[in-house]
Amino acid sequence: MKALIQDTIERCRAAGLRRTKALEELIRTLLENGRPMTLAELATSEHLADQCDKATVFRLLQRLAEHGIIRRLGLHERAAYFTLLVPGKHSDYLICTGCGTIESIKAPCPVHALEDEIREKTGYRNLYHELEFFGVCPKCA
């Protein structure tokens, strides 16, 4: 784990970021938790809370995302997205990270087998999934 933290900080350094206490703690917190976290969670987490301001964490996340070291999950707009559920139909999406276009994918979704497996193994109820592909569309490239 320590090595992984160091590696990641090295990648930050290589990207031109400075090695600050806030950066180290942010990386450490994310790696130790091993799951996606919100800005609020991060900024109030044990080691970051008294270490730095929420704005600092925000700007760090922003910089790290620019350099591809972290990723902001979801449809990349500040607003929430809603979609109609049509019985018997399921759709996955292809989103351009440049212009934000969202289109449905017609191809059959390859995830159902895994979904069944998860249902059995974990005991989760009312299981469903969301699958999104992100990339830069030909127009934006």
The answer to whether 47 contacts DNA (rule: CB under 7 A) is: no
Q: Which of 46, 68, 88, 120 contacts its own copies by CB under 8 A?
A: 68
Residue 39 to residues 45, 53, 75, 84, 134: CA-CA distances in angstroms?
Answer: 10, 11, 17, 29, 22
Q: Which residues of 83-104 are buried (b: 16+ CB within 10 A; e: fewer)?
A: eeeeeeeeebbebbeeeeeeee
Any contact of residue 30 with its own copies (CB under 8 A)?
yes
Task: Compute the chain's Rg from CA coordinates.
Answer: 19
Pick 20 or 118: Cβ nearer DNA: 20
Q: Which of its own copies, DNA, none does 10 bind, CB closer than 5 to 8 A by kind?
A: none
Pick the stretch among 32-40, 102-110, 114-122, 127-135 that binds DNA (CB under 7 A): 32-40
Which parts of 71-110 interact with DNA (CB under 7 A)?
78-80
Task: Copy the structure tokens of residue 110.
Answer: 């390859």
Residues that bind DNA (CB under 7 A): 13, 16-23, 38-40, 51-56, 58-60, 62-63, 78-80
